[in-house]
Amino acid sequence: MQAKLRKGDRVKHATRTEWGLGEVLADQTADRVRIIFEDVGLKELDPAKAKFTNVTGDEAQSDHLTALVARQLARSKGQPSKAGKPSMTLSLKKAVDNFLSYFPQGFNDHAYFSGRQSEREYKVVAGDLLRERLGKDAIAQLLDARAFKEIGERAKAVINKTNLIHQQEKIGLGNSLSLEENQQAFAEALDCLLHGYESVQHRFERFCKMLDKIDAAKWPIATYFLFIGFPETQVFVKPEVTRHAADMLQIDINYRPELNWLTYRCVLTLFETLKGKLIRDGRAELVPRDMIDVQSFIWVTAPTYTES
């Protein structure tokens, strides 16, 4: 006979492993136990019929589940969530079905990988251009020559390789970089962001401070170069679709329109969580290569997505 489940226990369903890690919300009664699971949300189950495995140690650690529990408890007490709106549990199946309706072979679909509807090829090309035109040696030579304007021009060329940044934001950055007094600050901060030895947080915050100073402080611009240059680990923040994904996954990204490290770090967690969910789905065509694939999945499954 399995031990009685207590509030706060971390468990997994013995047979429904696709539900992921769960946490018991209240002590088990004779005929009911309430558990919230990472991948399917709240379940009320008969402990005489459902069997569970207690999980401890590193296997029981999940910031995502901790956030789900906090939101569920806040709702049960009638408190608003931090997001200020009712939260939704992501139906991963529904999101995946939506993605596969556009790209039946998932991340391996020819239309996804390249061509008119591609969500990947042009981002990879932009990354190649960034490394070619603004790689460590190239940008160092330009800085030595005080060719600050040229660094800005190359940065704009990398931005123009994709449609990730809205045209008005591109124009705004271009106007800022047309001013000679902004060109050196941008060039040096971009070099630090891409090639500095300090922590990512330090480099990101320096870049954001510079963008604010030159009146170009927008989330897509602040995150674009890290994402394009280091897609294995870094992410792109387009506020509307990112917040939609956060709501679906019930992850509080502490969003503020002002550029800040906390929001960016929380979005990193969001992307990593979604990547893990897609891997656990078990289908090879849904295993992301990197954060480009995760960003593309978020974009394609957002309500605003339309085929080009």
Q: Which residue from 103, 158, 99 is spatially nearest to 126, judged by alpha carbons?
A: 158
User: Would you give the DSSP letter of residue 19?
Assistant: G
**Tokens of residue 277, six digits:** 């969910």
- Cα 181 to chain centroid distance, Å, stands at 34
**Cα Dmax for the chain:** 77
Per-residue pLDDT reduced to its tens digit, 109-120: 999 998 888 999
- Residues making up the chain, counted from first to last: 308
Question: In this prediction, what percent of the chain has a pLDDT beyond 70?
Answer: 93
Contact 43, 33 (CB under 8 A): no
- Strand spans (E) along the chain: 10-13, 22-24, 33-37, 41-45, 52-54
pLDDT over threshold 50, residue 193: yes
pLDDT over threshold 80, residue 68: no
Residue 44, pLDDT score: 86
Sign of the torsion angle spanned by Cα atoms 32, 29, 31, 21: positive
Q: Which residue from 168, 167, 117 is spatially nearest to 305, judged by alpha carbons?
A: 117
**Tokens of residue 79, six digits:** 């408190």
Three-class secondary structure of residue 231 per DSSP: coil
Per-residue pLDDT reduced to its tens digit, 210-251: 999 999 999 999 999 999 999 999 999 999 899 888 887 878
Contact 89, 43 (CB under 8 A): no
Please state, in angstroms and as integers, the Cα–Cα distance from residue 193 to each residue in 114, 188, 235, following that order. Answer: 29, 9, 14
Q: Which residue has the higher pLDDT, 201 or 74?
A: 201
Per-residue pLDDT reduced to its tens digit, 269-305: 999 999 999 998 889 999 999 999 999 999 998 877 7
Per-residue pLDDT reduced to its tens digit, 84-137: 443 444 466 788 888 999 999 999 999 999 888 899 999 999 999 999 999 999
